[in-house]
Amino acid sequence: MMSYNSWLQCIRGCDQRYSIYDVVYRCEQCGGLLDVEHDIEALKARSAASWIKLFDQRIRTNEWPYGSGVWGKKEWVCPQVANENVVSMYEGHTNCFWAERLGKKIGVQGLWVKLCGNSHTGSFKDLGMTVLVSVVKQMIADGKPIQAVACASTGDTSAALAAYCAAAGIPSIVFLPKGKVSTAQLVQPIASGALVLALDTDFDGCMEIVQEVTADNTIYLANSMNSLRMEGQKTVSVEMVQQFDWEVPDWIVIPVGNLGNVSALGKGFLMMKELGLINKLPGIACAQTEKANPLYLSYLTGFKEYRPVTAQKTLASAIQIGHPVSYERAVKALQAFNGVVEQVSEDELANAAARADRTGMYCCPHTGVALAVLFKLIERGDVGPSDRVIVISTAHGLKFTDFKVGYHDRVLKEVVARYDNPPLELPADYRTVKEAITRELERRQEGRKDDGHSSDA
């Protein structure tokens, strides 16, 4: 492990390098974002077959910290951190659910859903946060004057940051847009003991303030502008291919907001290709809502134009972002993958989530956005019946109880619930209960053709 190395470098190609332990978030020459770069020649000294063998051997091992889905790929992620400074909850290795029944209904044979929300804090954000907080722990061990780690969040980043910092005994500060995150997301950092600041603004407003606060170098910035997180998140690409016995799917559909995760996804695939573990790339489809669609609008211009938007309120609250920090990174990735971007309405995302729930899932609204986009791509013929598709499910549905309850109570704005299933309230009387069961089972038998109320579902 000693021979592997990584550093920060400008994504626009300026040649100044920074240490991953430097407190610097932008290129000092041009202001561009920084990416973590690896000594690829050193990594190439090991054959693809040998990497595959190593990664497979480490799955769930007890040898610290390699049993984590992220740290099992430590050489590719963050080789310098000492193992005793790794802060990990054995994140990653989330299940990839074969959504056979939903796939059949929508006309793709091979549909999988990568359940990144089946993780310690209930979202994929754990994958990146383990790397960032480990680097901070290493910096503190090395005597750097860091008082706290801070982030702006639409809910899941703050939950992950607060939990990993709590595990490491490092103070954290989270900036949340007041009233715009779910109850579960709000209570997570509170429970972890973070300093929780609910600001009267939206995510983009919180992002501005946190950047000002972290200009003081003793407060370290944990937003995905900080590319260390992407190193952890990119392992999801390796993991999906690993779960496919090292074959590459045809399509990956991913809900996007600040555009860090899709950049990481692309980075993971490009690294596998460069190191010879795979020989083709998947198509990538980015999913946005009509309420917060700056990437979609830019895509319509062939990425020639980009204008931030004011994000409107959406059920997919974690992607209610109008001015994505990683726009430039994401466009670079999408151009390498022939990426597509599509948007959906509130009605489409909520019904897509509910339809998938009827086949055994429990989708968060963002996963609903990705599924609704997939439905469109299939309808348009962009995704064919024999394609193998993985939808990235970014968070656990249980974090979004208000969304689920609101759907089944039919009170969500701009949504006509086609798969609602409210409980029957009955007197405690055997005959009434028995009749209700008979009636309902018959009705459901008829409805089974489409799993919804209306025949066009």
Q: Which residues bind Zn ion (CB under 5 A)?
A: 10, 12, 14, 27, 29-30, 32
Of the candidates 341, 394, 388, the one whose C-alpha atom is nearest the C-alpha of residue 368 is 394
Asked if residue 74 binds ligand PLP (CB under 6 A), the reply is no
* Shorter beta-carbon distance to ligand PLP: residue 27 or 392: 392
- Among Zn ion, ligand PLP, none, the one that 75 touches (CB under a kind-dependent 5 to 8 A) is none
Using CB under 6 A, pick the residue from 120, 329, 355, 366 that binds ligand PLP: 366
- Among Zn ion, ligand PLP, none, the one that 319 touches (CB under a kind-dependent 5 to 8 A) is ligand PLP
Place of tokens 């299940």: 95
Q: Supply angle C-alpha 94, 329, 374, rounded to 5.
A: 50
Q: How far apart are CA 154 and CA 199, in angstroms?
A: 12
CB of 183 to ligand PLP, least distance (A): 15
* Shorter beta-carbon distance to Zn ion: residue 32 or 384: 32
Asked if residue 52 binds ligand PLP (CB under 6 A), the reply is no
Q: How far apart are CA 37 and CA 128, in angstroms?
A: 16
CB of 32 to Zn ion, least distance (A): 4
CB of 123 to ligand PLP, least distance (A): 5
**Strands 219-221 vs 34-38: parallel, antiparallel or unpaired:** unpaired
- Among ligand PLP, Zn ion, none, the one that 29 touches (CB under a kind-dependent 5 to 8 A) is Zn ion
Asked if residue 259 binds ligand PLP (CB under 6 A), the reply is yes
Asked if residue 210 binds ligand PLP (CB under 6 A), the reply is no
CB of 33 to Zn ion, least distance (A): 9
* Shorter beta-carbon distance to ligand PLP: residue 69 or 397: 397
The strands making up 148-152's β-sheet, listed across from edge to edge, are 195-199, 172-177, 148-152, 219-221
Considering only residues 112 to 131 of the shown chain, the ones binding ligand PLP according to CB under 6 A are 123, 125
Asked if residue 415 binds ligand PLP (CB under 6 A), the reply is no
Binding mask 140-159 for ligand PLP (x = CB under 6 A): ----------------x---
CB of 217 to ligand PLP, least distance (A): 25
CB 12 within 8 A of CB 27: yes
CB 65 within 8 A of CB 164: no
Asked if residue 248 binds ligand PLP (CB under 6 A), the reply is no
Asked if residue 261 binds ligand PLP (CB under 6 A), the reply is yes
The strands making up 6-10's β-sheet, listed across from edge to edge, are 17-18, 6-10, 34-38
Using CB under 6 A, pick the residue from 319, 331, 341, 363 that binds ligand PLP: 319
* Shorter beta-carbon distance to Zn ion: residue 36 or 390: 36
* Shorter beta-carbon distance to Zn ion: residue 32 or 205: 32
Asked if residue 260 binds ligand PLP (CB under 6 A), the reply is yes
Residues that bind ligand PLP (CB under 6 A): 123, 125, 156, 224, 255-261, 318-319, 364, 366, 394-395
